[in-house]
Amino acid sequence: MQRLKILLEWLKKSPDDPFLHFGIAMEYLSGNDTKLALEKMEYIVTLFPEYLANYYQLAKLYEQLNENDKAVEIYKKGIELALVQQDKKTAGELRSALEELTF
């Protein structure tokens, strides 16, 4: 919980830092607060759509919540973004996760 408090304090000083928002989402997730983690990840994908790391985690969370249609959509958007950013490794990871879900 200490890490979360620190991240929240840093966020006050840098509210436009997607890495901080993502770190907070991961802390919520590790604390089993899926509701807050989901809210934060959806916030990130809306306000910071170029933040690639969020796509895999958000899609996985949708999978855990049995919202597979949303997971597929996020995986596909993440793959597109990864290709635009020329990040073939992440595109491959997202593609593999998508294939695993849909086959």
Share of the chain above pLDDT 90, in %: 98
Question: Length of the chain, please?
Answer: 103
What domains are defined for the chain?
2-102 (1.25.40.10)
Mean pLDDT of 19-43: 97
Rounded Cα gap, residues 23 and 37, in angstroms: 10
Rounded Cα gap, residues 4 and 58, in angstroms: 19
**Is a pLDDT exceeding 90 seen at residue 21?**
yes
Band the pLDDT of 10: cuts 50, 70, 90.
very high
